[in-house]
Chains A and B, each alone.
Chain A
Amino acid sequence: MDLFLQLSANGLVLGMFYALSALGLTLVFGLMRVVNFAHGELYVVGGLIGWALTETLGLNFFVTLAIVVVVLGIAGYLIDRLLITWVRGQGEEPTILLTIGLSIFITNTALLIVGTTPQTVLSPFKSKPLFLGPVVLTQSRLFLVAICAALIVGAYLLIQRTGLGRAMRATFQDPMAAQLVGIRTAHIYGFTLALGAALAGAAGMLLGSIYVVQATIGGVVSLKAFVVVILGGMGSFPGAIVGGLILGLAEALWGGYVNTGYVDAIGFGLVIVMLLVRPYGLFGKRIERA
């Protein structure tokens, strides 16, 4: 029983982290129908900036987080306005290819700049074990879960309650109508990708404080994020959370009770099953165009 509790706790914590990592992707995916294969690389860049600022410059953790969000937001905006505009409207394939090319470029340029050594982001939270009954966690993990939740709620409020969020939702329902009511859609696209990139970067920095920051891990992050997005449904906030938690729990329980070598396959297996049974995910909306 203890084993089960510990594994479940691990799974839930991991699930929240997956949810945050995937949130940026699901927004961009759901709102813009852009499959951003560079998502993992934006996560990596967030982590690298986080490391550079906290470790080499010694800045405060939360200040660094704010800086990462702003910098990645600007980067996302620029990527959209300078690159993705060229291929908008040509279907999903060109954006996939574009973002794949971008991800290769970012990964390798980052590798050249910061080198190959794994790093971490300095965190103000302790890593000593906290014993909650039979379950062991650390203070830093608990705090990170809280910060993740806060960021998710914050993003949700941004989309649902602010003018900008309304403009975003309008643009993606019908770009033509949105332009007719005076929304500058070109900027909106940029802001959406900015939001997605900012969330990815924030996740990269936060998780970089308990895991590791390295230029080469982008691909794995992207894959896991895709799994969460498909499971939960594109563009859905609750979907990202539920999808993340499902993935985290599934991996923890499978890895704990069966075998850890095949752990990554669980996510993919779930995706295949989900795409056969409910292609739009648990919370996705069904839209199809002729």
Chain B
Amino acid sequence: MQLRKTLYGSVFIGLLAMTTAASAEDTIKIGVIQPLTGSVAYNGTTDINGSKLAADEINAKGGVLGKKIELVIEDGQCKPANSVNAAEKLIQRDKVVALSGAFCSSATLAVMPVAQNYKIPLITGVSSSAPLTEKGNQWFFRATETDALLAKSFAKILYGEIKLRKVAYIGVNDDFGRGAVSEFEKQMKDLGATTVMTEYFEHGTSDFYTLLTKLKASGADGVFVAAETQDGSIFVKQKAELGLPVKVFGVGSWATSDFIKLTGDASEGIYAAVPYASTMTTPKNKPFVEAYTGRFKEAPGKYSTAGYNAINILAQAIDRAKSTDAEKIREALTKTDYEGPNGHFQFDAKGQATGFTVVLVQLTKGSPKVVASTTVDQR
């Protein structure tokens, strides 16, 4: 028994002694920290897809400063400690010139001081928690909307055109859900709407009947939901199962083909506010959608665009800086003037992107129809 065990054990260890990565060529390395495992892996991988598409497009055109861009991808798991470890490894061992990540606002928040400490530029295309750009971190740039900006842009439409007066707020119980709910609630209250219910649910909840029952009893005429595809789609489906006629307005990745596929008929009439929809009509969008769909066999969503924009913005900054020196790249980032699939990007003094378009879509017959769009200006 003992001998057999030792034998099997040695074979196992032998198999485990696999070779590691090949040697590096002369490339410009950009570190990407996204969740590859865990419950938001689904969203994280779409961001990586967009990033990869951007990198390949740039390299096909000759790269930056004559060298190819290499993405070094690490799994941050949307957890602060793991994202910090990933950042340390990327900066120390891989010697990346910039970082893109870390998806969840709490993880990005933990990585920000690391970036500042090591003086490496950090850009996020996803983290929407408003306080991130209030920390005075000169090395951090946010290439997407904040919950506050989104709320301000669309609250007027929700109140004025869709005529929501008694609103229920439902959010996933993480920093994104809570942040989004509180921002939208604030805006709607200022306009005169009443809040009839505010509830949160744990990420991964599969049965929303209790929540929906409460919603029915609250008498709301509209419900604002801050959730990702996985939870949001189940919520919408079950709302239809219970026959609730309440209007739904969602924030999160709701305008994607996966979401529509999962919800089926129940998606009809749902509103969503997103910084990107594949049906947007900007000049850069059509080629982007074609390239993305051709490569990944599905239409891009907001996270794909986030990754795509982040890498492009970084590459352009390196190009503008004419060097890979971190301080010069940072300088160049402040002067960003980038045209992406969802509009024009510039950064204000706090590192917040302005000038791009966010849209309100209504899911009609399985496609996100753009109902309203607005550009994000200064706060």
Contact = CB atoms under 8 A, between A and B. Distances in A.
* A–B proximity contact (CB within 8 A): yes
B229 A216 contact: no
Contacts of A141: 241
A212 B37 contact: no
Given A212-B234, A261-B173, A3 B217 contact: yes
B204 A111 contact: no
B22 to A, nearest CB: 21
13 contacts: A10-B207, A108-B37, A119-B262, A129-B241, A211-B206, A212-B233, A212-B262, A216-B38, A217-B204, A252-B210, A255-B211, A260-B200, A263-B201
B39 A216 contact: yes
Contacts of B206: 207, 211-212, 217
A289 interface: no
Interface in A158-181: none
> How large, as a class, is the contact surface on chain B?
20 to 34
Contacts of A263: 201-202, 210
A80 interface: no
A211 B234 contact: yes
A260 B199 contact: yes
Interface of A: 2-3, 6-7, 10-11, 13-14, 108, 111, 115-120, 127-129, 131, 136, 138, 141, 207, 211-212, 214, 216-217, 220, 251-252, 255-256, 259-261, 263-264
Most buried by A among B204, B206, B214, B234: B206
Given A136-B243, A212-B230, A6 B37 contact: no
Say what secondary structure dominates the interface of chain B: helix
A260 B201 contact: yes
Nearest to B207: A14
A14 B234 contact: no
B58 interface: no
B258 interface: yes
B157 interface: no
A11 B39 CA distance: 26
Given A118-B262, A255-B210, A111 B41 contact: yes
B332 to A, nearest CB: 34
A129 B244 CA distance: 9
A116 B42 contact: yes
B116 interface: no
Contacts of A252: 209-210
B205 to A, nearest CB: 8
A214 B230 contact: yes
Contacts of A115: 42, 45
A116 B210 contact: no
A34 B37 CA distance: 28
Contact of A256 (B210, B229, B234): B210
Contact of B204 (A7, A127, A207, A220): A220
Given A136-B243, A251-B210, A252-B209, A261 B199 contact: yes
B170 to A, nearest CB: 9
A231 to B, nearest CB: 18
Contact of B241 (A2, A14, A128, A251): A128
B344 interface: no
Contacts of B240: 127, 129
A255 B253 CA distance: 26
A242 B123 CA distance: 52
Nearest to A252: B210
Given A14-B209, A129-B242, A136-B243, A260 B214 contact: yes
B213 interface: yes
Contacts of A120: 262
Contacts of A116: 41-42, 44-45
Task: List 4 tightest A-B contacts by C-beta distance, closest first.
Answer: A129-B243, A116-B42, A211-B206, A255-B210
Given A10-B213, A260-B214, 8 more contacts: A7-B213, A116-B45, A118-B262, A127-B240, A138-B241, A141-B241, A211-B207, A256-B213
A138 B214 CA distance: 18
Contacts of B45: 115-116
A10 B210 contact: yes
Contact of B210 (A2, A7, A264): A7
B95 interface: no
B31 to A, nearest CB: 21
Nearest to A220: B204
Interface string B146-163: 000000000000000000
Contacts of B217: 2-3
Nearest to B5: A86
B350 interface: no
B42 A261 contact: no
A127 B210 contact: no
B119 interface: no
A111 B37 contact: yes
Contact of A117 (B39, B199, B237, B258): B258
B267 to A, nearest CB: 13
Interface string B197-238: 001111010110111011011000000000001100110010
Contacts of A14: 207, 209
